[in-house]
Amino acid sequence: MTWIALTDTETQLFSTAGLGADPTAPDLIGCDDDDLLARGTLVLETGLPDTGQAHTLFHYSREGDWPFHLSVQAIPGRGLIFVLNQGGTVIHQTMTLPDTGRIDLLRLSYSWDAPARRAQLALEQHDREQVLIQDIAGPCPLRFGDLHALFRHGPHRFAAPETIFAALSDTVEPVGPLPSMHPETPIATPMGYRPLRSLRRGDTVINARGEVVPVLHRLARTVPARGSFSPLSIRSPYFGLDQDIVVAPSQRLLLSGTEVEYLFGKHSVLALAHHLTRGRAVTPVPWGPLVTYSQLLLPGHEAVLAAGSALESQFIGRLHNKPRLLAASLLSGLERSRLPDHGASGIPVLGAFDARVLAERRAA
């Protein structure tokens, strides 16, 4: 089960064996136009246009005995309209985000499982924990020929400049809290540094306060290396690092010191990695079509020592009180009663401007 297609302004990839698979690997799906993908996930990541009227972000239509239409449209009021018409079976959903400030990127995921007769539409806002989910009954499988056309550049389809990427998986992909460190990141433990990928439930790690805490779970997920998933390198010796590490843009660093206290009046603050890219400390990394991230779930919301720097562990808020989101998340197989209650973060999270000011001062 893997990602099989990816497209952006420069890329058009489609592999029936999976992106990055060995050339001799068997096909995961049929490759005739009329073959059907019974379950999967279509993901579209986009910005919102700064206009006061409806704006098409993505559109593809095909006529014939079994007509097909897919479109995503931005509407005033921070909303998106998703329309999927397969031979007269129509899904028409409007999703609107609450007014919680500026929107940089949105990720829309349509997941379907035709044999199970269920589907869902999820809308996630980059930099926010909130996820909107709408359940859809009785979805149809998608035709290979239409899926292939969606990921080919040309006049047969339209993608607005605001569209960052689109991707296709042959399974129902999770939404919600996602891991954000490279699996090889060295994590401090009582026995010394160990690669993140080697840690398991029951192991112990050292948090930013020097305390030994148990690992509840290690999460991992492979995603398209584009948009809000594009790998970033945090370079040594910035932020106390002993070596360069790779993280997702959503990874938050715990920053402290005299500059933090002087600028923000706090002992420590959290800053997203992608807000720190103005200077030399955090830079984009060339990558292939897919990247795997991992992360540790700890009893409390806290930072771990990663290569000498304090990086936030997996924050899940009060996911145990949100059964619908839990069922759609990477933690769906865990019992609600065994999940920690992280509550609201007690550490301020810097906005983009403040984070960049701090990054520029530290990189000077």
In this model, does residue 325 exceed pLDDT 80? Answer: yes
* pLDDT greater than 70 at residue 125: yes
Residue that wins the pLDDT comparison between 76 and 214: 214
| Average confidence (pLDDT) over 237-243 | 92
In this predicted structure, what is the pLDDT of residue 73? 93
Residue 364 pLDDT greater than 70, yes or no: no
**pLDDT of residue 128 exceeding 70:** no
* pLDDT tens figures, 150-205: 998 888 899 999 999 999 999 999 999 999 999 999 999 999 999 999 999 999 99
Q: What is the CA radius of gyration of the chain?
A: 21
**Average per-residue pLDDT in the chain?**
90
Q: Report, as an integer, the average pLDDT of 93-119.
A: 85
Residue 226 has a pLDDT of: 95
Q: Residue 361 carries which DSSP code?
A: H
Do 274 and 249 form a contact (C-beta atoms < 8 A)? Answer: yes
Please state, in angstroms and rounded to a whole number, the distance separating the CA atoms of residues 112 and 12: 23
Q: Please compute the mean of the pLDDT values over residues 197-218 and round it to a whole number.
A: 96
Residues 6 or more apart whose CB falls under 8 angstroms from that of 219 comprise: 178, 179, 294, 295, 296, 297, 314, 330, 331
Kindly write down the DSSP assignment for every residue of 76-128, as one continuous string: TTTEEEEEEEETTEEEEEEEE----S----EEEEEEEETTTTEEEEEEEETT-
pLDDT at 290: 96
pLDDT of residue 126: 67
Min mean pLDDT across 71-85, 121-135, 276-290, 350-364 is at 350-364
Contact 218, 196 (CB under 8 A): yes
Contact 247, 332 (CB under 8 A): no
Global pTM? 0.92
What pLDDT score does 237 carry?
Answer: 93
What percentage of the chain has pLDDT greater than the value 70? 95
Distance CA 104, CA 17 (A): 33
Q: Please, is 262 exposed, middle or buried when counting C-beta atoms within 10 Å of its C-beta (0-12, 13-18, 19+)?
A: exposed
Name the percent of the chain lying above pLDDT 90: 62
126 residue type, one letter = H
Tell the residue number behind the tokens 């920053």, with chain if given.
Answer: 255
For the stretch 281-319, pLDDT in tens is: 899 999 999 999 999 999 999 999 999 999 999 999 888
